[in-house]
Amino acid sequence: MTGGVRETRRRNLLLLAGDKYFRYYAKRGRIVEALEKLLREAPEDIYGAEAFSTVVAQAALHALDVLRRAVIKARRDKLVYREFGVVYDRDLVGALDVARTVAAGSFGLYASLTYLPSSLNAPEYLLLRRLVARGVKTAKELAERLGISGQVRDEIAGVIREVKRLSASLPRGVTWLTCRDAGYVDWLRHACASYWVLRGLLRGVAVAGRAGRGLDVVFLDWRLYEIYVYFLLYETMKELGYAEAECAPGLCRDGDLCFESGTQRVCILFNKPHESSLVVSYDGEPAERLRGRPDAMINGGRRIVVEAKFSSEPQYITLGRFKAMAYMYEYGADAGLLLFPDLEEGRADPEDEATLELYRHMRQNDGVAVVRLRDGRRIYLVRADPAECPSHLEADKRARARLEEILRALLAGGEEAR
């Protein structure tokens, strides 16, 4: 695969899944973690912010919301956090440690141990105010540079107004404290991550297979691909006539997707083990942690396991093929799906050569190959390649069409697809 194809695939993947990145994490309540994981050292090829204005706008909006919540938590700490310390006064006020409260000499004062309000001029609050000012300024510059308009611009402007209002009561002043020393206070660490992301977005965004720790905004390609498959399944279920539903206890858990059509309910788990696993214990000890975690598992009439591999290496796809088969065995699944972009031809061992043979078959059969097992079950190898067409939207349309055909037959419980 040429470097041009690889770069096109990554760029198209960012266009398809970048603006959905935080929607994926929002279902799991891990927005701050998602922001912090974006902060890496960018590779040489970095895309300008203007080229991915939708992605940048969504990232900026969520970074501002994290900053807003950091200010709210800091304000709450100012009101409720207390330090246990010594007070010298003529009167005894508040809860005391009586055994250690003593008269303090001829001035008529008492030295008492009690709970003191946190200092209004604590360096953490001074740094937070500085971060708010810089973050708001950076967000405004981003919105102007990208020419963001419509609902997203209004949302960004609304969060900026609220952040400024909430931070108005924070103390002013100079502090020696920096973000490098802020890890011990969660809300301050979150504010730092928010500002770093906003500052990085001004430069642009990048996509890479791996990157070192840094202050650029870098999306990992394999993570984007997992998120792409998440929404690919979501949109395919909608195309099949299923409506998103509340996750009922016992069927789904928080963060999963649930759908219904008539009396049929379908639940999709992502990166989670399921109680139907064959794995029970080892040496008499419970073994829940040993259970497999398929990228997705569809439960509804039939059980289907889904693996997504963002790779063009035959060896890696071969491992994915056997991994899907292992998940089918562990969870008693009726079928397995393996989604990947393409394969590179080259020298390979017999198992990898067999995978290449399957891919050659896929090229002649609209991007799908079906492996039939002796017990009647099937594994579907499906091409989902953001670089299959010059247009990322057309490539996405082809991938959804393949998935729709397969899932329509499998979920209906009739004849297997193809």
Instruction: Report the DSSP beta bridge partners of residue 169.
Output: none
Alpha-helical (H) ranges within 266-349 are 314-331
**Neighbour-count burial for 315-326, b at 16+ CB within 10 Å, e otherwise:** ebbbbbbebbbe
How does pLDDT run across 9-67, given as a tens digit for each residue? 999 999 999 989 998 988 777 899 999 999 999 888 888 888 888 899 999 999 999 99
**The pLDDT of residue 147:** 81
**The pLDDT of residue 181:** 81
In whole angstroms, what is the distance from residue 300 CA to residue 24 CA? 22
In whole angstroms, what is the distance from residue 337 CA to residue 309 CA? 11
Tell me how far CA of residue 57 lies from CA of 54, 302, 366, in angstroms.
Answer: 5, 39, 36
In whole angstroms, what is the distance from residue 146 CA to residue 25 CA? 24
The token pair at 150 is 């419509």
In whole angstroms, what is the distance from residue 349 CA to residue 280 CA? 35
The token pair at 50 is 């203007």
In whole angstroms, what is the distance from residue 92 CA to residue 276 CA? 62
Maximum C-alpha span of the chain? 99
The token pair at 160 is 């900026």
In whole angstroms, what is the distance from residue 304 CA to residue 297 CA? 6
In whole angstroms, what is the distance from residue 184 CA to residue 169 CA? 23
Contact between 31 and 25 (Cβ < 8 Å): yes
In whole angstroms, what is the distance from residue 331 CA to residue 310 CA? 24
**The pLDDT of residue 105:** 55
Tell me how far CA of residue 217 lies from CA of 115, 232, 282, 389, in angstroms.
Answer: 43, 24, 42, 27
**The pLDDT of residue 279:** 87
So where are the chain's domains? Answer: 3-78+121-220, 82-117, 240-412
**The pLDDT of residue 117:** 57
**The pLDDT of residue 123:** 86
303 φ/ψ angles, rounded to the nearest 5 degrees: -105, 130
Alpha-helical (H) ranges within 114-260 are 123-146, 150-167, 186-203, 221-239
**The pLDDT of residue 89:** 66
Q: List the chain residues with pLDDT less than 50.
A: none
In whole angstroms, what is the distance from residue 345 CA to residue 1 CA? 9
Tell me how far CA of residue 88 lies from CA of 85, 295, 297, in angstroms.
Answer: 10, 61, 64
In whole angstroms, what is the distance from residue 163 CA to residue 71 CA? 7
Region of residue 416 (phi > 0: left; psi between -120 and 50: alpha; otherwise: beta): beta
The token pair at 393 is 């939207």
**The pLDDT of residue 84:** 57
**The pLDDT of residue 28:** 76
Pairing of strands 335-340, 302-308: parallel
With residues binned 3-state (H G I as helix, E B as strand, rest as coil), the percentages for the chain, rounded to 5, are: 50, 20, 30
Three-state SS for 307?
Answer: strand
**The pLDDT of residue 301:** 78
